[in-house]
Each structure stands twice: as structure tokens, then as C-alpha cells.
Chain A
Amino acid sequence: MIFKRFLPLLAVLGLFGAACGEDDSAAPEEPTAQQPDPEADDKVSVAILLPCAINDLSWCQAAYEGVKQLETEGLIDLQIVDDAPFDAQGATRVMSGFAEDGVQFVIGHSFDYGAPIHELAPDYPDVMFAWQGSCGGFCGVEGPNITDYSMPMHEPAYLSGIIAGGITESGIIGANAGYDIPVCRSTMEAFLLGAREVRPDAERLDAFLGSWVDAALAKEATAAQAEQGADVFVACGNAGSFGMIQEAREQGLSAFGYVFDESALAPENVVASMAWQIDETYRRIVSDISIGNFQPTYNVPMSAGGFEVQMNPGYNAGTIPPEAMELFETRKQEVIDGTFEVPFIGSIEE
């Protein structure tokens, strides 16, 4: 029977447990790493769930460096979970651990974390939760301790599109994305709208990979789009952007970096990167938490320094027509001034 089968194992585990128990009773006052430092009362204790690696040169690294910046500034005590589970059950498991430990602010850096946060938040009214939903005014945030922060990538995407419209000879843009989620769709649509300001006949070819990690498939998607005439590319997804940039490099075409400055991947082919300065978003939330003014949504657009179009100095600026560059600068100023609003086309119904 099963207990016999696992007997040696259980015995060892049991002994081990007993040993641990003694350990605990012998040194109950020994502080463990997660206990907040009593001297740092003014710091907000933060835990962040990143669904990928902290060195992915994109989605997770942007968030990682954002929270690290706040830690360096002495605003927060930080705990990081990289490669966090995507499923609600796994996310709930990880987040409830932090909530039980008394962490003040739990961040889930993916739209997948919206559902588990809504389930969990009512049980921990003293813990603030945030997830990257980009909901803005589109979907409800239910609960006084929940917030949603936006990723207004459509703004830099529109501006990048203007440059792309100037660069493209064929008028065909290639786009790949992991999945058809609002952040990706709004980026792709805004990019095309921007390009059409310069090239009214511009078209876009799309490929969805069904994966956030398959860089080699993204490379092939880019090759397929290049065969069909595309000569300037945009991607939504970390690995997707790597594959795209590598193919653009091999074929001598142009591509735009996703979320993070990716010009190092192809110093001559990356035109610019849509770089997310996410620290500003986190800084606002943390500051609001410490003064007890937690808001239901946070949106830090370009005008507030949330995003930037980082031009790659290595890219041959001669291929960008001056008119396109001029229009880019004008629109950029208008976006920053708030006189031009980039349309957000996030899902099918809109």
C-alpha cells in the first residue's frame, strides 16, 4: 500500500520536519529575510510578479528596472518574483503569500493578473494591489485596494509609424504579435495610422505567433512578410521583437524596438525603440499609497514621461525623409502638449 511505499520518504521528511521545528523554537527571534526592517517604516514594502525573466530586454526588464529605480531612490522595500506563474491559481498562491507576510503593495505586471487580484483583494483590505491591465476607462476596477496601470504604447507607436511611413518604399508594414490583446492591437493600429499620415496608401501585414517566447518563429514571420513586400517592421512581444530585428538585420530592413531600447540588437537596422519609463507609474502609485490617496487607475502617458521614442543614433538617418522627421517632431510635441490625441484601438468592438 501507498503508505509503505512512501514510508522511507515520509520518515525522512518527518525527521526533517521535526528538526526544523526545533530550529524554529530554538531561535524564534532570528529575523528572516522577508520581515520588514523596523527602521524603514517610511518605505512602502512592495512585491512584484513578473511573468518573464528580468533580463528579457523588454516587457519584464522594463518593469524590473522601474521598480529597482524606486528601490535605489529609497522609496520602497522590494521583493521580486520573476518567471511568475501566468495562471490565476498560481498567481493567487504567490500573491497571497506576500499578502500574508504583510507586504503593503503587490504588483502583477501582466493583464493576466487582473482576475486573481480581484479575487484576492477583498480578503486583504490592507494590501494594495495593482495590475497591468491598460483598462483605463474601458473596464471596471472593483475594489478600494485595486488599481490598474496603463501601458500607453499606442502613443509612441503612432509617432514611430510616422517615421516608418517615411522610411518604407513599398508602403507595406510587417507586424507580429504574440496574441491579439489590446496592448498589441492598439500598438499595431496606431503604428499604421501614423504611417498613413505620411504614406496614405500604407498597408500592414499581421502575424500572430501564439507564443511570447518563440523568437525563431517571429523571425520566420518577418521573413514571410518581407517576401510579401514589407520593408519596415514592428512587433509586440519580447521574443517576437528579437526574431523580427534579427531578420531585419539580415535583410537590411528597418525595425522598431519594443518596450525597451533594443538598438543593440541591430545597431544599423533598429530605427527607434518605444521605451517604457515605467518607474514614473510606480513612483506615483507608491507615493499615493504613502499618503493614503490610492487611485483606481494610473495612466502615465508620454506627456508625463511614461513613454519615449528613443531614436537609435546608429541608424542611418539619411533614409528618413526630412518631412517625416518634421511631422514626427510636430506630432510628438502635440502629444506631449495634449493637443493631439492618438486613437486607442484596443479590441475588435472599438
Chain B
Amino acid sequence: MNWGAVFGAAAIIPLLNASIRLAVPTGLAAVGESLCQRAGVLNLSLEGMMLSGAYAAFLGAHYSGQPWVGVPAGIGGGVFIGVLMALFSVRLKTEQVINGIALVLLASGLTSFIHVRLFGVTAPERFDPISPLEIPLLGSIPGLGSVVFDQSPLVYLTVALIFGVWWILYRTRYGLAVRAAGDRPAAADAAGLDIDRVRSLAILVSGAMAGLGGAVLVVGQLGLFTQNVTAGRGWVAIALVIFGRWSPLRVAAGAFLFGFTDALQLRIQSASGGIESNVPFEFFQALPYLVTIVVVVVATARARDDAQPEALGVPYVKGARRA
């Protein structure tokens, strides 16, 4: 195998760029989910939110002819599933896990159904995805310059949102409320906090970010929608939240690691002879998952605290009897 093609100096910059492209959709969803779980809601509808966002983004871009319109549309698509998730999980307080899984099914069916209804078998006109935005001067710095300063505007937006969520969670009153709602809802309630509102809002934020993640796939990368285009990224995002131990910045780092390993395995597959490779390519395909497990084992083994929000997954009912 030609290792230089994968690890050579010339290959590093494209590898990092590819890692970012692969990390952004999943990372957006995962960081949004980290806020949601901090508020105590185990939102398993993430894949559905991403898919709904991807499809809404496609519709927005298709009908306006402007890929940028897909960004708010995608956010709206994610929020749509978020509204349903909040309705069932927070307002009606039915089982969060079932609601989440059912909403994934719903989004998958609905997007496919609408797509066939709207366009039949005629392929809708494709559009050009949003192109990279090179920041003048900085983007032409040799080496890492292009990684940092010559990316799609959606990448910059993603970075801003990651820090935004971190800032909200640790530096604002709402963030305090979120953490209280996730750790000690009863105490927070007694202190006058409206747990339902805090949690609903967190679900909607999660929906917005997951929807944006789906939108990135469609208006930032592909220029078209295909059935189930999110291909399971939402599930990986949920794993990444735990990987990052509910801290937005660590979650984002996990998304990058996952994207990096995926970018790497594609390069190894190509350079190792594909079909003829001695190491089965299925092993390379599994690499991102294996690396994530190993890192999470090492990280958890070294961590001394249990970062999990204490009331995660527990619907909060005002005045419920306590044992």
C-alpha cells in the first residue's frame, strides 16, 4: 500500500479539510443535542431532525434557486421535528425514547413521501452548493491557512454555533437554568424555574442545530436531496454527546475525531488496493466506530467525575411524589 498517499506531507491538508467536511453535519447535531441532554431530555429524534432539516433545506433552495435559503429552511425543518418532540416529551410527558425513535421513522417516511409527491419521477433541478469563502490574505497562508481560513461559510457558522452553545450553557442565565433542569429539576422548580419551558426551548435549539446539520449536507455539499441522505449521522451524534461527556466543546472535538477517522479510512481504502486489499475493507469501514470506542474507554477510565445530567431521560412532573 502507498502510505505516502495517505500520510505524506501533501496529504495532510486535504485530510484535515475532509475531516472538517465530514465532521460538520454530525458535529452540529451533536452539540445541539448536548444542550438538550443537559436540560434532561434524551432526544433520540436527532436523525429525524437532521433528515427533516435536510429536506426542508432542499425545498428552500430548490424553490428559491438560492442555496442560502436552504439554511434557514433547514433550521425550520429541524425545529419542526423539535416541536413534535417537545409536544410529546415535555407537554404530554410520554416516553422520551419512544417518541424519539418514532419521530425518526416519521421524518424518514414523510420526507420520502413528500419528495415523490412533489416531483414524481422527474428529477428536480439540482443547484450549486454554497461555495467556500476564502478569507482574504489569511486563506493563502501556506499550510494550515487553507484549513482555517478557506472553508465553506457554513463551517465558520458551525464553529460560531459550537462556541455559542458553550457560552449559553456556561455563561448565561438560560444555561444555568438548563443545567438545573437536567440535574435537579425539582429543586429548580421549587426555586421558580419553569422546567417545561427550559426543556422545550432546549429541544428546539437541538432541532435547529440538527436541522442545520442536515442542511449542510444538502446545500453545503451535495446540491440535491436523496432519500435518507443523513444515513445514520444522527445516531452517531448521540454517541458523540456521551463521548464528549455533555460538554459542547468536547462533543465538537469528538465529532472532529470521528470525521477525521472516516476521512482517513476512505483514503486508506483507496490506497490499499480496495477489493484486493489484504485487510478487509470492512475493517476500515468500522474504524471510526472502533476508534471512538477506544477513545471513550480511555477518556472515561481517566475521568473521575460522572458528567451525566442526573435527571436525563426523566420526564419532569410538577409536584410528583418523591420517594
Contact = CB atoms under 8 A, between A and B. Distances in A.
Q: Do chains A and B touch in the complex (CB under 8 A)?
A: yes
Interface of A: 52-57, 61, 64-65, 82-83, 174-175, 180, 185, 188, 204-211, 213-217, 219-221, 223-225, 227-230, 238-239, 242-243, 246, 264-265
Contacts of A239: 226, 229, 231
B21 A214 contact: no
9 contacts: A53-B115, A55-B121, A57-B123, A213-B229, A215-B229, A221-B269, A228-B267, A229-B5, A243-B222
Nearest to B264: A224
B263 interface: yes
A155 to B, nearest CB: 20
B121 A65 contact: yes
A265 B128 CA distance: 10
Contact of A64 (B21, B121, B266, B281): B121
A10 B271 CA distance: 59
Given A204-B274, A224-B270, A242 B22 contact: no
A220 B231 contact: no
Nearest to A261: B123
Given A55-B119, A207-B270, A220-B21, 7 more contacts: A53-B112, A53-B115, A83-B227, A175-B274, A206-B270, A215-B224, A243-B222
Interface in B252-297: 262-263, 266-267, 269-271, 273-275, 281-282, 285
B55 to A, nearest CB: 13
A210 B296 CA distance: 24
Contacts of B18: 220, 223-224
A220 B15 CA distance: 10
A217 to B, nearest CB: 7
A220 B262 contact: yes
Interface of B: 2, 5, 11, 14, 18, 21-22, 25, 112, 115-116, 119-123, 126, 129, 217, 221-224, 226-229, 231-232, 262-263, 266-267, 269-271, 273-275, 281-282, 285
Nearest to A223: B18
B274 A206 contact: yes
Contact of B270 (A61, A205, A214, A242): A205
B275 A219 contact: no
A242 B267 CA distance: 19
Contacts of B11: 227
The listed residue with most B CB atoms (<10 A of its CB), out of A185, A216, A238, A242, is A216
A280 to B, nearest CB: 19
B226 A188 contact: no
B226 A54 contact: no
Contacts of A188: 275
A60 to B, nearest CB: 10
Given A180-B275, A243-B222, A228 B270 contact: yes
Given A213-B228, A216-B25, A239-B226, A61 B267 contact: no
B281 to A, nearest CB: 5
A55 B123 contact: yes
Contacts of A246: 129, 221-224
B262 A217 contact: yes
Contacts of A216: 22, 25, 217, 221-222, 229, 231
Contacts of B5: 227-229
Nearest to A57: B123
A205 B270 CA distance: 5
B112 A215 contact: no
Contacts of B116: 53-55, 82
A242 B217 contact: no
A107 B263 CA distance: 38
B222 to A, nearest CB: 6
A221 B18 CA distance: 10
B311 to A, nearest CB: 25
Contact of B285 (A55, A185, A210, A228): A210
Contact of A213 (B21, B123, B231, B267): B231
B105 to A, nearest CB: 12
B275 A206 contact: yes
A61 B217 CA distance: 23
Contact of A219 (B115, B121, B221, B232): B221
B271 A206 contact: no
Contact of B227 (A56, A204, A225, A229): A56
The listed residue with most A CB atoms (<10 A of its CB), out of B25, B224, B228, B266, is B266
A264 B126 contact: yes
Contacts of A230: 270
Q: Which 4 A-B pairs have the closest CB atoms?
A: A206-B274, A214-B231, A205-B270, A224-B266
Nearest to B21: A220
A226 B78 CA distance: 33
Contacts of B269: 206-208, 221
Contacts of A82: 116
B285 A208 contact: yes
Contacts of A213: 226-229, 231
Nearest to A238: B226
B121 to A, nearest CB: 5
B259 to A, nearest CB: 9
Nearest to A226: B14
Contacts of B281: 180, 206-208
Contacts of A224: 18, 263, 266-267, 270
The listed residue with most A CB atoms (<10 A of its CB), out of B119, B271, B273, B274, is B274
Given A53-B115, A55-B116, A204-B274, A265 B231 contact: no
A220 B123 CA distance: 23
A206 B224 contact: no
Contacts of B229: 213-216, 239
A49 to B, nearest CB: 16
A265 B126 contact: yes
Nearest to A260: B123
